[in-house]
Amino acid sequence: MSEITIEQIDKISQVLRDQERPLKERFRALFTLKNIGGDRCITWIKCCFKDPSALLKHELAYCLGQMQDVNAIPILIDVLKDQKQEPMVRHEAAEALGAIGGESAYCVLEDFKNDPTIEVAETCQLALARLDWLKNNPSTDKKSIYYSVDPAPPSEEKDVENLKSILLDDKANLFDRYKAMFALRDLKTENSIKALSEGLSVGSALFRHEVAFVLGQLQEECSVPALIKALEDKSQNEMVRHECAEALGAIATEDCLKVLEKYLSDDKRVVRESCEIALDMSEYENSPEFQYANTLLEVS
Summarize the confidence of residues 139-146 as an average pLDDT.
76
Condensed to tens digits (0 to 9), the pLDDT of residues 179-215 reads 999 999 999 999 999 999 999 999 999 999 999 999 9
Q: Do 126 and 156 lie in a common domain?
A: no
Q: Do 125 and 2 lie in a common domain?
A: yes
Q: Do 211 and 238 lie in a common domain?
A: yes
User: Rounded to whole angstroms, how far apart are CA atoms 22 and 153?
Assistant: 36
> ∠ at Cα 42 (150, 25), nearest 5°?
85
**What is the extent of the structural domain holding 259?**
146-290
CATH number for the domain spanning 171: value is 1.25.10.10
Q: What is the pLDDT of residue 293?
A: 54
User: Rounded to whole angstroms, how far apart are CA atoms 119 and 94?
Assistant: 10
User: Rounded to whole angstroms, how far apart are CA atoms 41 and 51?
Assistant: 17
Last residue of a domain, one of 141, 165, 185: 141
pLDDT band at residue 296 using 50, 70 and 90 as cut-offs: low
pLDDT band at residue 298 using 50, 70 and 90 as cut-offs: low
Strand, coil or helix: 189: coil
Domain-embedded: residue 185: yes
Domain-embedded: residue 106: yes
pLDDT band at residue 150 using 50, 70 and 90 as cut-offs: very high
What's the number of domains the chain is made of? Answer: 2
Neighbours of 159 (CB within 10 A): 10
Q: Do 182 and 163 lie in a common domain?
A: yes
User: Rounded to whole angstroms, how far apart are CA atoms 294 and 274?
Assistant: 19
Q: Do 178 and 259 lie in a common domain?
A: yes
The answer to whether the CB of 53 falls within 8 A of the CB of 83 is no
User: Rounded to whole angstroms, how far apart are CA atoms 92 and 84?
Assistant: 14
Task: Say which residues have a Cβ less than 8 Å from residue 30's Cβ, sequence separation at least 6.
Answer: 16, 45, 56, 59, 60, 63, 293
Average per-residue pLDDT for the chain: 93
Last residue of a domain, one of 101, 122, 141: 141
The answer to whether the CB of 152 falls within 8 A of the CB of 182 is yes
Last residue of a domain, one of 115, 141, 167: 141
pLDDT band at residue 295 using 50, 70 and 90 as cut-offs: low
Q: What is the pTM of this model?
A: 0.93
Condensed to tens digits (0 to 9), the pLDDT of residues 118-127 reads 999 999 999 9
pLDDT band at residue 255 using 50, 70 and 90 as cut-offs: very high
Tell whether the model's pLDDT for residue 232 goes beyond 60.
Answer: yes
Q: Give the residue ranges of the annotated binding site for Fe cation.
A: 58-59, 91-92, 209-210, 242-243
pLDDT band at residue 282 using 50, 70 and 90 as cut-offs: confident
Domain-embedded: residue 297: no
Which has the minimum average pLDDT: 30-39, 135-144, 154-163, 234-243? 135-144
Q: Give the residue ranges of the annotated binding site.
A: 58-59, 91-92, 209-210, 242-243
Task: Please classify residue 201 by burial: count the beta carbons closer than 10 Å to its beta carbon, then call 0-12 exposed, 13-18 middle and 19+ buried.
Answer: middle
Q: Do 86 and 185 lie in a common domain?
A: no
pLDDT band at residue 143 using 50, 70 and 90 as cut-offs: confident
Summarize the confidence of residues 110-115 as an average pLDDT.
98
Q: Do 28 and 103 lie in a common domain?
A: yes
